[in-house]
Amino acid sequence: MDKPEKFIIDGIRLDGRKPDELRPMKIEVGVLNRADGSCYLEFGKNKVLAAVYGPREVHPRHNQKPTTAVVRFRYNMASFSVEERKRPGPDRRSIEVSKVSREAVEPMIFTEYFPKSAIDIFVEVLQADAGTRTAGINAASIALADASIPMRGLVSSCAVGKVDGELVLDLMKDEDNYGEADMPVAMTPDGEITLLQMDGNLTREELKKALEMATEGCKQIYKLQREALIGRYKKELEEHKEDVELVETITESEETSIESTTTVNIDESGGLDDE
Ligand code: CDP
């Protein structure tokens, strides 16, 4: 598509969104049987798949770290994910996206719990429409949680950019291609930034506002990530309803017996006090 004359008409963007509106997000957790954790995520027209393996043995062994786990992140774009066929295999861009994505999620993982082991994260982009690194980070974060990797929290990610001199949240492809700036951000639920990149120019004031918009966007994404993870385990609980009820009955009866034992103990100690 050629450069549109205007990106915002009467306060509405080309895809019908307001400047501070995210694209719709769809999340499915636990979609791959072989992976320890996985997630399929759609962010607007982006479609990505994340798989997590580990903690597992490090190969080659000389890459292992004696006191922490090694976190490896591979971002890959399928040849058919973009308009013009992408040459298969790693290139400068995918190596860069893999590196910054690893740095975005790694601080949230308790790597010190798993010395000498590896946690491998794979992100496959099936369909790209700008913001694939942010989609990949959101999916990877969910897949890590699905793999039961102990984490300080989830990482959420979205970009803020500038088109027609105005800041907009979560750029789609034309805004990314022809816009004046693109700033992908990833942050923790506490608002700590784990990824901040910038393409183009923003003034100091714009940067401040862009960070506020990104924070708001990440908060909304965090909510969706959390809901998706809770939904997955609710579904699992429902599927094993009978087992859950049985466990609850056993727990209840155990609690009752603990209570009665405690009463006896109190009586006994009371008796001792009286002596
Ligand atoms: O995807 P993201 O915004 O994180 O990264 P980018 O390097 O800013 O790429 C922006 C968009 O350009 C991608 O999402 C794709 O839609 C497109 N692209 C492409 O068409 N062909 C490539 N080889 C790489 C990117």
The CATH number of whichever domain residue 95 belongs to comes to 3.30.230.70
| The pLDDT value given to residue 140 | 98
What tens digit of pLDDT does each residue of 147-171 get? 999 999 999 999 999 999 999 999 9
Domain residues for the domain of 194 are: 8-238
Residue 68 counted as domain residue:
yes
Residue 275 counted as domain residue:
no
What tens digit of pLDDT does each residue of 69-115 get? 999 999 999 999 999 999 999 999 999 999 999 999 999 999 999 99
The tally of domains found in the chain comes to 1
Sign of the dihedral through C-alpha 94, 43, 196, 121:
negative
Element containing residue 94 per DSSP (H, E): helix 92-105
The answer to pTM > 0.85 is yes
Residue 82 counted as domain residue:
yes
Residue 114 counted as domain residue:
yes
Residue 263 counted as domain residue:
no
Instruction: Tell me how far the alpha carbon of residue 146 lies from the centroid of ligand 1, in angstroms.
Output: 27
Instruction: Decide: 173 in ligand 1 pocket, CB within 6 A.
Output: yes
Residue 244 counted as domain residue:
no
User: How many CA atoms within 13 Å lie on the side-chain side of 40?
Assistant: 9
Instruction: Decide: 198 in ligand 1 pocket, CB within 6 A.
Output: no
Instruction: Decide: 128 in ligand 1 pocket, CB within 6 A.
Output: yes
Q: Whose CA is nearest to atom 7 of ligand 1?
A: 93
| The pLDDT value given to residue 264 | 45
Residue 246 counted as domain residue:
no
Mean pLDDT, residues 24-34: 97
Residue 256 counted as domain residue:
no
What tens digit of pLDDT does each residue of 212-246 get? 999 999 999 999 999 999 999 887 778 888 877 87
Which atom of ligand 1 has the smallest separation from the CA of 133? Answer: 4
Strand partners, 121: 52, 73
Cis peptide before 60 (omega within 30 of 0): yes
Mean pLDDT, residues 8-32: 97
Instruction: Decide: 86 in ligand 1 pocket, CB within 6 A.
Output: yes
Instruction: Decide: 129 in ligand 1 pocket, CB within 6 A.
Output: yes
